[in-house]
Chains A and B, each alone.
Chain A
Amino acid sequence: MTTKEKSWKEISPAGVCWKSSTQFFTGDWKTYTPIRDPEKCTRCLLCVLFCPDGAIHWQKEKGDIEFDLNFCKGCGICANECPTKAIEMKMV
């Protein structure tokens, strides 16, 4: 989650938006979060190609991939496609 979720006593009535639409992320929709085991991952980058939201990036300087959880909707395609089963979808 991008921000700490507020209690019913803290939010404005009637669903009045307490932050700008630019601060709401599609990643907030997800139920399952991809958790990667770096030991099993071979950096084949298939997940980068398959991700429908372009939410997995190759970080050249780190020589590793990174999930952008602001945009990951938790679909699990990466976990399904991973040839070494290095990605697990978990409720966090």
Chain B
Amino acid sequence: MKSVVKQEVLALNGDEAVAYAAKQSDVDVVAAYPITPQTIIVEKFSEYVANGEVETEFVCTESEHSALTACLAAAVTGARTFTASASAGLALMHEMLFVTSGCRAPVVMAIANRALSAPLNIHGDQSDTMVERDSGWIQIYAESVQEVYDSMIQAFRIGENLEVLLPVIVGLDGFTLSHSLENVNVLPDDVAKKFVGIRQLPNVLTHEGKTLPFKLDPENPMSMGPVAFPNYYTEFKRQQEEAMKNALKIIPQVHEEYAQISGRHYGDGLLDAYCLDDAEIATVCLGSTAGTVKTVVDELRAEGVKAGLLRIRTFRPLPMEGIIKALENVKAVAVMDKSMSFGGQGGPVFHEVRHVLYDVLAHPYVVNYIYGLGGRDTSLEQIREIYGDLQKILQTKRVEEPIRYVGLRE
């Protein structure tokens, strides 16, 4: 059992917390392109480079597609790489997201979650990362700036784990977290560096029949990600699914090890349950909204209402068993989506939570709330109304409208 280390408290916004964590994580290469609300991350990191505070190779690229390509190229030589983006920037990376995960390159990327155009909107919602949920990247959504910092440090360890070898997105709600100043406990540099450690490489069999470290090296050539025909493509995709399954095991391990030195827990690292043990009604959400919901849960609990919250911290891989365990005894669940799936009958988080609960014999009522799009604030009162709706569903035993919009003007 390691003891909690003494930590300095810094006033950081979410973007600065990301840059600070990257600085402490001994990153070899950063390639990035600026976009609101992520820009501060790269600006801050480039200051560290200019001041000689890091030994990182900083590459200014002409687009996000190139930024991720540069990170991928560096990562497959064995380097630790980091980038950051948001919204349209992430969308431009779309092609390379699949190449990166397919090449099993553990790039870490912070996404300051922002709405997608059109109409143009620079404010926060989770549309940008939600559309990339099938791209083979691990997705962790932070609730606070503190958690942004902590998740970033953990992300390198998770992605680079030899049983995982997958790229990781750390999502922080645009402006709500990216631009909000918070007191953040930071690990001493040496402790953070030791925790992240040196990137290890697995051994793989090459075309020359040699077993060599998994990296591009002119002395020991190997080809990565060349053509795979129908007779092999499925096998490679199945490997990626296995890596995601392994991540379900590794994320809580890394989270626990980190908790022992930092003193900070976020549930088990996958799911963060709040007042769920005896809850009859509950909401499910991702990211910073959980802070607002917790306040409402406290108020409702004081009034004797058995309300709870399940925050999904790790959305990819989806902790299916944990969600079942957390919600199987709840009677009505409201799933909150900060993005839409047009024509899909509800948002993506709703789809997945309801899909998971299908295996629960006496499954709860599950309804969907689309909220906070394009940075629209969600008030305590609106969250209260959601819990009120759930109570009404339990009383009437009827779901009038399974998909609802918070604060929409009819």
Contacts and interface: CB of A to CB of B under 8 A. Distances in A.
B229 A13 contact: no
B239 A16 contact: no
Nearest to A31: B230
Contacts of B205: 12, 16, 18
A14 B224 contact: yes
Contact of B223 (A7, A11, A16, A28): A16
Nearest to A18: B205
For the complex, would chain A's binding face be called helix, strand, loop or mixed by DSSP majority? loop
Contacts of B209: 19
A11 B233 CA distance: 11
Contacts of A19: 207, 209
B102 interface: yes
B362 interface: no
A21 interface: yes
Q: Is the interface of B mostly helix, strand, loop or mixed?
A: loop
Interface string B219-259: 00011111011011011101100100000000000000000
Contact-size category for A: 10 to 19
Nearest to A19: B207
A92 interface: no
Contacts of A58: none
A5 B206 contact: no
Contacts, number: 67
Interface residues of B, number: 28
B5 interface: no
Nearest to B225: A15
A5 B207 contact: no
A15 B222 contact: no
B191 interface: no
B204 A13 contact: yes
B202 interface: yes
Contacts of B226: 15, 17
Contact of B225 (A5, A7, A14): A14
Contact of A21 (B207, B224, B242): B207
A28 B242 CA distance: 27
B206 A6 contact: no
B31 interface: no
A87 to B, nearest CB: 23
Q: Which 10 A-B pairs have the closest CB atoms?
A: A8-B235, A12-B204, A17-B223, A14-B104, A8-B238, A17-B207, A20-B207, A15-B225, A14-B103, A13-B104
Interface of A: 1, 5-8, 11-21, 23, 28-29
